[in-house]
């Protein structure tokens, strides 16, 4: 019985980025092993059926990854990838008809709002340049350290300059998304709605210098992805990625927690498994590299260990902020289909599902919410009438892919609400968990602002995963966050999560990072980190993709490294 195994690459953590990286590397012909500590790979891209016939979505729900090169490069359709398209995806104009949910009911959206939004989203040119715009935001590795980042070489700036020069201004790099919208849109509620969609998608509408990344987070969902979900939920999308990896030879091991990344002479050479790991091998060696899909803090503090790190580096890692997105996720099983109050129903179709963010009256409410979540760090103090939250359509989009199959029962899952991160909560990380039922009741009161029939008579069950519970469930979701760490300018692009780690390399030779907390462009299961990391692994001579590979057009090779641009495409 072998006690040690050897692969080209050992990937610690089987979330979408770890497995996506495995798929790319295996397709290059490398031998790859992915080690996942939970019984099922997929990380936060997961499904679960806590009671028979009720499939809930603990975290990721929507498809953001539409523009990913991986759909072509990894040919995910061959591995069963399918979508459930939202009716809204066929009729974007309908969103405009319905308007935006405010405490006063649905606020209208004007033509100027719609045209302005379409313009900055790259939808007004023929053909539209939205795909190029999104790829430039997410699907390009940060520039090498010797390159000074300027308004000329930021990828999305290049795209605007080329396709929509009247939008281009150097100030795009400094704006908040609110600033941008103030210029192109006119109605306050729609601006607040988009700011909140962006905040819930990683880069908030009020953060300085991330106007375009925030816009990107929003439109990759709302326009490109049609506010739709993959068939079977996000986990089935993950299935297509993991099956691509496996089809190309990747070995995936579940219930195999890693205790240590083995460092010899400053170089990562393998991993040591926890003694409970469900395999008889205790050490797994990596000929080429170890890649960590574990969050950035645990990667260095637990798996590498302080003895291999400089004090200043260690401190920087410890100081990475966990704020900006700790979500309380609610799942409501009811005896009646939840109905909007009349003032929130779509005036044309009567449809009342999936209102999205609420309430979007003004940015005053938005800022109150920001202060409450990231400023005060305690139990929510917003009155339930003003609490901001985000609903998703209860019955999804495809009658042939139901989330709830129990006759006479209806599921609304997930409803998202931001709360303070457990690590910073006054009273300790479990302070909110101790009053879980109280907070659930408070949330239901908030939900009832738009829903007319959520009450004790209709409610069968209210599950919630608190941020602290999310950390237990997915140990990589530090802070119980949606996207790991915030997509703010100080943690974006060349700064994510700290400049020393921005190009996925680490102070440890042959140790690379692919976790959303550690890598540009962060979360949302975009398959962007695996694609971006490929450029770096090619630079370091560790990956040699075939003809199927194409690099990002905005990618700049690092001096003295192998270019990720193939020779046939003019690379050196």
**Positions in the binding site for another protein (CB under 8 A):** 1, 37-40, 47-53, 55-56, 58, 66-68, 71-72, 75-83, 85, 89-90, 131, 224-226, 231-233, 235-236, 239, 243, 246-247, 249, 252-256, 276, 278-281, 398, 400-401, 405-406, 463, 465, 469-470, 472-473
Q: How far is the CB of 32 from another protein (least distance, A)?
A: 13
Q: How far is the CB of 214 from another protein (least distance, A)?
A: 21
In angstroms, the CA 564 to CA 554 distance is 11
User: What backbone torsions phi and psi does residue 72 show, to the nearest 5 degrees?
Assistant: -85, -45
In angstroms, the CA 98 to CA 344 distance is 9
Q: Select 306 or 429, whichever has its Cβ closest to another protein.
A: 429
Q: Select 63 or 211, whichever has its Cβ closest to another protein.
A: 63
In angstroms, the CA 261 to CA 290 distance is 8
Q: How far is the CB of 12 from another protein (least distance, A)?
A: 15
Answer for the pair 51, 29: CB distance below 8 angstroms, yes or no. Answer: no
Smallest Cα–Cα separation from 469: which of 442, 434, 441? 434
Burial annotation 500-518 (CB, 10 A radius, 16+ → b, else e): ebbbbbbebebbbbbbbbb
Per-residue DSSP letter, 481? B
Q: Select 241 or 502, whichever has its Cβ closest to another protein.
A: 241
Q: How far is the CB of 333 from another protein (least distance, A)?
A: 12
Q: Select 69 or 325, whichever has its Cβ closest to another protein.
A: 69
Per-residue DSSP letter, 108? P
Q: Select 224 or 415, whichever has its Cβ closest to another protein.
A: 224
Q: H or E element: which one contains 417?
A: strand 410-418
Smallest Cα–Cα separation from 242: which of 28, 462, 469, 80? 80
In angstroms, the CA 113 to CA 330 distance is 32
Rounded alpha-carbon distances, angstroms, from residue 155 to 209, 434, 547:
15, 46, 24
Q: Select 74 or 564, whichever has its Cβ closest to another protein.
A: 74
Q: How far is the CB of 441 from another protein (least distance, A)?
A: 18
Rounded alpha-carbon distances, angstroms, from residue 418 to 369, 371, 468:
9, 11, 13
Q: How far is the CB of 297 from another protein (least distance, A)?
A: 19
Q: Where are the alpha helices (DSSP H) in 204-294?
A: 211-219, 234-247
Q: H or E element: which one contains 381?
A: none
Q: Is 124 helix (H, G, I), strand (E, B) or coil?
A: coil
Q: How far is the CB of 233 from another protein (least distance, A)?
A: 6
Q: How far is the CB of 339 from another protein (least distance, A)?
A: 25
In angstroms, the CA 357 to CA 389 distance is 6
Q: How far is the CB of 2 from another protein (least distance, A)?
A: 9
Q: How far is the CB of 58 from another protein (least distance, A)?
A: 7
Q: How far is the CB of 40 from another protein (least distance, A)?
A: 7
CA angle 93-99-101, nearest 5°? 145
Q: Count other C-beta atoms under 10 Å from residue 105's C-beta.
A: 14
Q: Is 519 helix (H, G, I), strand (E, B) or coil?
A: coil
Q: Select 470 or 515, whichever has its Cβ closest to another protein.
A: 470
Q: How far is the CB of 251 from another protein (least distance, A)?
A: 8
Q: Select 348 or 400, whichever has its Cβ closest to another protein.
A: 400
Token pair 């609490």 is found at: 387
Answer for the pair 532, 519: CB distance below 8 angstroms, yes or no. Answer: yes
Size of the chain in residues: 572
Q: Select 367 or 472, whichever has its Cβ closest to another protein.
A: 472
In angstroms, the CA 218 to CA 235 distance is 21
Q: How far is the CB of 295 from another protein (least distance, A)?
A: 16
In angstroms, the CA 424 to CA 265 distance is 37
Q: How far is the CB of 500 from another protein (least distance, A)?
A: 32
Answer for the pair 498, 86: CB distance below 8 angstroms, yes or no. Answer: no
Q: Select 77 or 315, whichever has its Cβ closest to another protein.
A: 77
In angstroms, the CA 272 to CA 257 distance is 9
Q: Select 196 or 215, whichever has its Cβ closest to another protein.
A: 215
Answer for the pair 170, 194: CB distance below 8 angstroms, yes or no. Answer: no
Q: Select 385 or 438, whichever has its Cβ closest to another protein.
A: 438
Q: Select 82 or 379, whichever has its Cβ closest to another protein.
A: 82
Q: Select 49 or 208, whichever has its Cβ closest to another protein.
A: 49
β-pairing verdict for 4-12 and 283-292: parallel
């Amino acid at each position: 019985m072998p006690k040690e195994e050897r692969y080209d690459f050992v990937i610690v953590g089987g979330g979408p980025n770890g497995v996506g990286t495995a798929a790319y590397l295996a397709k290059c012909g490398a031998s790859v092993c992915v080690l996942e500590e939970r019984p099922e790979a997929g990380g936060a891209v997961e499904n679960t059926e806590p009671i028979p016939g009720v499939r809930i979505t603990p975290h990721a729900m929507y498809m953001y990854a539409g523009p990913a090169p991986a759909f072509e490069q990894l040919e995910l359709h061959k591995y069963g990838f399918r979508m459930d398209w939202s009716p809204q995806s066929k009729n974007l104009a309908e969103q405009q008809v319905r308007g935006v949910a405010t405490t006063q009911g649905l606020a209208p959206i004007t033509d100027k709002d719609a045209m302005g939004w379409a313009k900055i989203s790259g939808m007004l040119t023929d053909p539209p340049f939205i795909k190029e715009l999104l790829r430039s935001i997410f699907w390009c590795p940060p520039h090498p350290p010797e390159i000074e980042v300027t308004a000329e070489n930021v990828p999305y700036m290049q795209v605007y300059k080329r396709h929509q020069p009247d939008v281009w201004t150097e100030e795009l790099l400094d704006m908040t998304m609110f600033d941008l919208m103030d210029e192109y849109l006119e109605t306050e509620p729609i601006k607040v709605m988009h700011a909140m969609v962006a905040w819930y998608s990683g880069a908030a509408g009020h953060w300085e210098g991330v106007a375009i990344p925030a816009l990107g987070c929003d439109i990759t969902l709302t326009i490109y992805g049609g506010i739709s979900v993959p068939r079977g939920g996000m986990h089935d999308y993950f299935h297509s990625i993991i099956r691509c990896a496996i089809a190309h030879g990747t070995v995936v091991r579940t219930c195999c927690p890693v205790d240590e990344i083995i460092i010899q002479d400053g170089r990562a050479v393998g991993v040591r498994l926890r003694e409970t790991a469900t395999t008889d091998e205790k050490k797994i060696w990596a000929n080429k590299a170890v890649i960590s899909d574990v969050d950035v803090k645990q990667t260095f503090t637990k798996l590498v260990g302080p003895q291999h790190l400089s004090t200043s580096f260690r401190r920087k890692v410890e100081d990475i902020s966990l704020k900006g997105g700790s979500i309380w996720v609610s799942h409501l099983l009811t005896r009646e289909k939840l109905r909007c109050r009349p003032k929130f129903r779509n005036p044309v179709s009567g449809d009342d599902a999936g209102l999205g963010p609420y309430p979007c009256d003004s940015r005053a409410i938005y800022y109150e919410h920001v202060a409450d979540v990231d400023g005060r760090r305690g139990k929510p103090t917003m009155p339930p009438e003003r609490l901001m939250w985000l609903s998703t359509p209860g019955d999804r989009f495809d009658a042939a892919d139901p989330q709830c199959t129990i006759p006479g029962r209806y599921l609304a899952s997930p409803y998202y609400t931001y709360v303070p991160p457990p690590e910073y909560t006054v009273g300790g990380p479990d302070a909110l968990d101790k009053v879980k039922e109280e907070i659930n009741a408070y949330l239901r009161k908030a939900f009832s602002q738009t829903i007319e029939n959520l009450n004790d008579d209709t409610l069968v069950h209210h599950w919630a995963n608190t941020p602290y519970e999310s950390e237990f469930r997915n140990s990589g979701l530090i802070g119980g966050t949606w996207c790991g760490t915030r997509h703010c300018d100080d943690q974006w692009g060349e700064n994510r999560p700290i400049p020393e780690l921005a190009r996925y390399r680490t102070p440890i030779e042959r140790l690379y990072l692919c976790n959303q907390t550690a890598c540009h462009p962060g979360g949302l299961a975009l398959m962007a980190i695996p694609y971006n990391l490929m450029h770096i692994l090619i630079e370091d001579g560790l990956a040699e993709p075939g003809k199927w590979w194409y690099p990002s057009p905005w990618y700049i090779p690092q001096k003295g490294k192998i270019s990720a641009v193939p020779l046939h495409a003019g690379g050196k």
